[in-house]
Amino acid sequence: METKRHVRLFRNGNNQALRIPKNFELEGNEAILRKDGNRLIIEPVKKTSLLMLLASWKPLAEDLPDINDSHIEAEEIF
């Protein structure tokens, strides 16, 4: 796979832009752009599902207290 490519910069309104060649395309529709000295680094944003997020959490190390869930009688207020 090609690792370098000469590209042209252009203006898009107040922004400077470049076209990303097909063989450099990123997956998805969001990316993180950061500057490292004179380099611009573009990284795709990896979407995680809620299930993947929950699976990555460690269990709590403490016991939760018991909850007294007794039935509450309805009151007539009118």
Q: Which amino acid is at 13?
A: G
The DSSP element (H or E) to which 9 belongs, if any, is strand 9-12
CB 43 within 8 A of CB 31: yes
Name the nearest CA neighbour of 3 among 18, 17, 21.
Answer: 21
pLDDT in tens, 49-73: 898 888 889 888 888 888 888 888 8
> What is the reported pLDDT for 8?
93
> What is the reported pLDDT for 76?
87
More confident call, 66 vs 11: 11
Phi and psi angles of residue 50, each rounded to the nearest 5 degrees, phi first: -60, -40
> What is the reported pLDDT for 70?
80
> What is the reported pLDDT for 62?
85
